[in-house]
Structure 1
Amino acid sequence: MNPISRHLSVLCFFCLIPMLVAASSQGKSASSVATPAPAAILPLPKSFPPVSDYADMFSSKTEKKISRMLDTYKRQSGLGVMVMTIGSLRGDDINMYADRVLDASGKHALLIIARREGKIALMLDEDLEGRFSQADARRLISSDIVTHFQAGLYDKGIEAAVKTLITTLGTAPLHKSK
């Protein structure tokens, strides 16, 4: 990876969602949960489908529905968008990991959720600068994701977030293409 990222971290949101943290601590109090030692760089996935739910947060029906939405969006706009959940960052930085995934995948946008840490990041390729603001990202994460996730409605939250993301990005073609 180049020392200077060509991706924009629109927003890295640390939303310590009680439901996510509680699920990962398995009933232990926050003070008794051991913090993992910083690990080697989290490995990249072998493939980059539109939806990679490695943390098993969504139903298979929702995964298929979102995959279809993102495939349709790619055909209409030429923009590749990916949603990924991971169980844990294992000491890695969410922005650095998201940057590596986005670079390796060739996609234009990545919405990533680290379940154990309760972190959410939205990473956009620099080609999308100006299409999605910090305010758009905050709204997407707080209104679409966090509100639903705190109520245990993971499927509804991710579906709402993807709809907001692709609607806000629009379908105008990029001047640069991947």
Structure 2
Amino acid sequence: MSAARVFLLALLLGFMCPALAEVAVPQLTGRVVDQTGTLSASDIASLNDRLKDLETRKGAQIAILIVPTTDGEPIEQFSIRVAEAWKIGRKKIDDGALLVIARNDRHLRIEVGYGLEGVLSDVITHRIIDEEITPKFKAGDFAGGISAGVDRMIRLVDGEQLPAPEPAHWQAPDLIDFANPVLIFAVIIGAGILRAALGRLLGSVATGGIVGVFAWMVAGSLAAAILVGLFGFAAALIFGGLNFGGPVVGSGPYRRGGGYPGGWSGGGGWSSGSSSSDSGGFSGGGGSFGGGGASGSW
């Protein structure tokens, strides 16, 4: 009886240990996540530009993950865990695809969302791996293999009929109304009044805040509000001190309480945090995966 219990315990531990040893799903920090240093910065930038362009045109998302190893876990099981966590592709359209490479294991897989299984079928993805990716991997050209495979996937997705992507609220079409000369003139006049009442710096900050809130209400976009608010602040700081024939408060043009002689030199602190290429700004759109795709090795 004791021997049977030991046997059952060993069997249970045998089933549990692989689950406990699963490699953690890496954090989605961009369209290309390389944990091995395989790709150079220029390689990543080139891939990111192409994948971002695809998403802009078609709405579909493709992401790339390179890990050292899956630590014995089948590449199929690991990649579906990543796909379910990252949710690449748009929700209910499921137009996402994921290229996973375990470099030390010499295994790779293309995981395909439900919405792309027609164009990136199991047969097609197997051919992409065999014809485009693994021949270059065998020659040591990892960047070339990934680039060739991704390019072929992009061409296929380009030929698929997919719902058009929704335009981003913060892009130029939504900001055109704020470039109206009348509004710009009103901002400058309002900035002059606020600067006269609060001083140059506080008046400019108040102007930027008011303009930003107004932009948020109109455009419904925080990004647009920030951009327009920064414009309002800069316009108030530069042009808000112009004298249009109105009363002058204080000893200098719109100066109060001693003002800020020589101008304000702290402009370097107002840099936009959205200028980085992709990391932090990319996320999955809620797409679902069902195990479609193909695996390979080299």
Match of 2:146 in 1: 158
Equivalent residue, structure 1, for 2:86: 105
Which of structures 1 and 2 has the bigger CA Rg? Answer: 2
| Deviation (angstroms), 1:174 | 4.6
CA offset at residue 157 of structure 1? 1.0
Of 7, 27, 36, the match for 1:55: 36
- Alignment match of 2:106 (pick from 118, 127, 130): 118
Q: Which runs of 5+ in 2 are unaligned?
A: 1-16, 89-95, 165-284, 287-298
The residue identity in structure 1 corresponding to 2:76 is N
Question: Normalization by structure 1: what TM-score?
Answer: 0.72
Letter in 2 for 1:84: L
User: Which residue is 2:76 aligned to?
Assistant: 95
Which has the larger share of helix?
2
Q: Aligned residue for 1:135?
A: 123
Judging by fraction of residues, say which structure has more strand: 1
- C-alpha deviation, 1:90, in angstroms: 1.0
Give the letter aligned to residue 172 of structure 1.
Q
* Percent of matched pairs sharing the same residue: 24
Shift of 1:142: 1.3
1:43 to 24, 34, 37: 24
Q: Alignment partner of 2:118: what SS? A: coil
1:68 corresponds to? 49
What is the TM-score normalised by the length of structure 2? 0.44
Match of 1:78 in 2: 59
The structure, 1 or 2, with the larger RCO (C-alpha pairs under 8 Å, 6+ apart) is 1
Is 2:128 aligned against 1:147? no
Consecutive unaligned residues of structure 1, counting only runs of 5 or more, are 1-36
Q: Separation in 2 of the partners of 1:117 and 1:174?
A: 38
Tell me how large the CA RMSD over aligned residues is. Answer: 2.0
